[in-house]
A and B are shown apart, each in its own frame.
Chain A
C-alpha cells in the first residue's frame, strides 16, 4: 500500500531563517506531487506541483521554492522566512493517471516568530 510521510511535524523558526520541509511517498511510482498551505483550518492554497523529477510548477509567487530531486521526494524551501509564512503545510500525491484523487500527508505546522 502507499504511504506518504512529512517531516518535521512541527517547526518554530525565527524570521529570516531558512526552511526545508520534506515529503516522501512510498509504494507508488511517478506520482504527481503537491505542496499546499492551509491557514486557520480553512481552505487549501496550492503552492507547487510536480509531474516528474526536476519538473516544478509554481502557482503562487512568494519567497518559497520547491524541488523534486528524486521520483518520490518533494522538498519545500525558503532562504529567508517571513512572518506570513506561518501556517500548516500539506504534501499530497496523486496517481499519474488518476489526477483528481489526492492523498495527503500528516502536515507540518510552521510557526515563524
Chain B
C-alpha cells in the first residue's frame, strides 16, 4: 500500500511570512499533484510534476518533485490571507486508476 505523509498537519502564520509544506513517501510515483481546497468547496488542482528534480513556479508558489520521485515540497513566499486553505498532495502510479492522497496541511494566514 502506498502512503503519502504530509507535514505539518496544521500551520498558522502571519501575512508576509514564508512557509514550506512537505509530502513524503517510501514509494515512487510517476507523477505528483498538489491541490488547494477552501472550506465547503472541492479541491482545485494547482500543479502536476512528473520529472524527478522538477521545479515549477506558480506566482508565489514553488513546487519541487524529489529526484527519486518519492517526495515533494510546496513553498509559499510572502503568504497572503487568500492562501488560506487545505493543501493536499496526491501521487499517481502509471497504470493505476486510484491516486494516493495525503491527509493534507491546513494553512491559516492571518492578516
| Chain A contacts to B: CB under 8 angstroms | 32, 41-44, 46, 49, 51, 57, 59, 88, 90, 92, 94, 99-107, 109
Contacts and interface: CB of A to CB of B under 8 A. Distances in A.
B101 A104 contact: no
Which of B35, B90, B97, B103 has the most chain A CB atoms closer than 10 A to its own CB? Answer: B97
Nearest to A92: B42
A26 to B, nearest CB: 15
Contacts of B96: 99
A44 B45 contact: no
A71 B39 CA distance: 30
Interface of B: 30-31, 33, 35, 37, 39-45, 48, 86, 88, 90-92, 96-99, 101-104, 106
B104 A43 contact: yes
B64 to A, nearest CB: 18
Given A41-B104, A100-B99, A102-B43, 5 more contacts: A43-B88, A94-B97, A99-B99, A100-B33, A106-B42
B42 A101 contact: no
B98 A49 contact: yes
Nearest to A109: B40
